Amino acid sequence: MLVLSATSCGNGENKKEQLTDYKKQLSDLKNEISSLEEEIEKEDGTSGNTVNVGTEIVRPETYNHFVEVTGKVRADENTMVSPEGAGKITRIVVKEGDRVSKGQVLAHLNNDAIDSQIAQAKASLQLATTTFERRKKLWDQNIGSEIEYLQDKTQYETQQQSLNALQAQMAMSTVKSQINGVVDEIFQKIGEIASPTAPFARVVNIDEVYVDAEVGERFVGMIKDGDSTTVFFPALEKTVDATIFRSSTVLNDISRTFRVRINLKNPERNIKPNLISVVKLKVYTADSLLIVPSILVKKDFEGEFLFVTEQRDGKTYAKKQYIKSVFNTNNKSIISEGLKDGDAIVTKGYNQIVNGTEIKIINL
Average pLDDT over residues 115-131: 76
Contact 331, 315 (CB under 8 A): no
Q: Check: CATH 3.10.20 for 111-172?
A: no
Q: Check: CATH 2.40.30.170 for 70-76+209-284?
A: yes
Segment among 62-66, 77-81, 123-127, 229-233 with least mean pLDDT: 123-127
Contact 349, 53 (CB under 8 A): yes
Residues with Cβ within 8 Å of 161's Cβ and at least 6 positions away in sequence, in order, are: none
Confidence of residue 148 (pLDDT cuts 50, 70, 90): confident
Confidence of residue 3 (pLDDT cuts 50, 70, 90): very low
What is the rounded distance in angstroms from the CA atom of residue 169 to the CA atom of residue 157?
18
Phi, psi of 146 (to 5 degrees): -65, -35
Confidence of residue 1 (pLDDT cuts 50, 70, 90): very low
List the one residue out of 339, 335, 329 whose CA is nearest residue 291. Answer: 335
pLDDT at 38: 60
Rg of the chain's alpha carbons, rounded to an integer? 45
Residues with Cβ within 8 Å of 159's Cβ and at least 6 positions away in sequence, in order, are: 121, 124, 125, 128, 129
Average pLDDT over residues 100-122: 78
pLDDT of 279 > 90? The answer is yes
pLDDT of 101 > 50? The answer is yes
Counting beta carbons within 10 angstroms of the beta carbon of residue 203, is it exposed (0 to 12), middle (13 to 18) or buried (19 or more)? buried
Phi, psi of 225 (to 5 degrees): -60, 135
Q: In terms of C-beta distances under 8 Å and separation of at least 24 residues, what long-range contacts does 124-129 make, across chains too? A: 124/159, 124/162, 125/156, 125/159, 125/160, 125/162, 125/163, 128/152, 128/155, 128/156, 128/158, 128/159, 128/160, 129/156, 129/159
Strand partners, 36: none
Confidence of residue 2 (pLDDT cuts 50, 70, 90): very low
Confidence of residue 264 (pLDDT cuts 50, 70, 90): very high
pLDDT of 353 > 60? The answer is yes
pLDDT at 133: 83
Average pLDDT over residues 142-146: 78
- Write the pLDDT tens digit of every residue in 32-55: 876 775 665 555 555 557 899 999
Confidence of residue 128 (pLDDT cuts 50, 70, 90): confident
Q: pLDDT: is 5 or 183 the higher one?
A: 183
Q: What is the 3-state secondary structure (H, E, C) of the chain?
A: CHHHHHHHHHHHHHHHHHHHHHHHHHHHHHHHHHHHHHHHHHHHCEECCEEEEEEEECCCEEEEEEEEEEEEEECCCEEEECCCCCEEEEEECCCCCCEECCCCEEEEECCHHHHHHHHHHHHHHHHHHHHHHHHHHHHHCCCCCHHHHHHHHHHHHHHHHHHHHHHHHHHCCEEECCCCEEEEEECCCCCCEEECCECCEEEECCCEEEEEEEEEHHHCCCCCCCCEEEEEECCCCEEEEEECCEECCCCCCCCCEEEEEEEEECCCCCCCCCCEEEEEEEEEEEEEEEEEEHHHCEEECCEEEEEEEEEECCEEEEEEEEEEEEEEECCEEEEEECCCCCCEEEEECHHHCCCCCEEEECCC
| Residue length of the chain | 364
Average pLDDT over residues 89-108: 90
Distance of CA 136 to the CA centre of its chain: 72
- Write the pLDDT tens digit of every residue in 290-340: 999 999 999 999 999 999 999 998 899 999 999 998 877 778 899 999 999
Q: Which fold has domain 85-109+173-205?
A: OB fold (Dihydrolipoamide Acetyltransferase, E2P) (2.40.50)
Strand partners, 229: 242, 281
Mean per-residue pLDDT over the chain, rounded = 85
pLDDT at 55: 94
Residues with Cβ within 8 Å of 284's Cβ and at least 6 positions away in sequence, in order, are: 63, 64, 65, 222
Confidence of residue 92 (pLDDT cuts 50, 70, 90): very high
pLDDT at 39: 65
C-alpha neighbours within 13 Å on the C-beta side of residue 311: 4
Q: What is the domain partition of the chain in residue ranges?
A: 46-66+287-361, 70-76+209-284, 85-109+173-205, 111-172
Q: Which fold has domain 46-66+287-361?
A: 2.40.420
Contact 321, 344 (CB under 8 A): no
Counting beta carbons within 10 angstroms of the beta carbon of residue 347, is it exposed (0 to 12), middle (13 to 18) or buried (19 or more)? middle
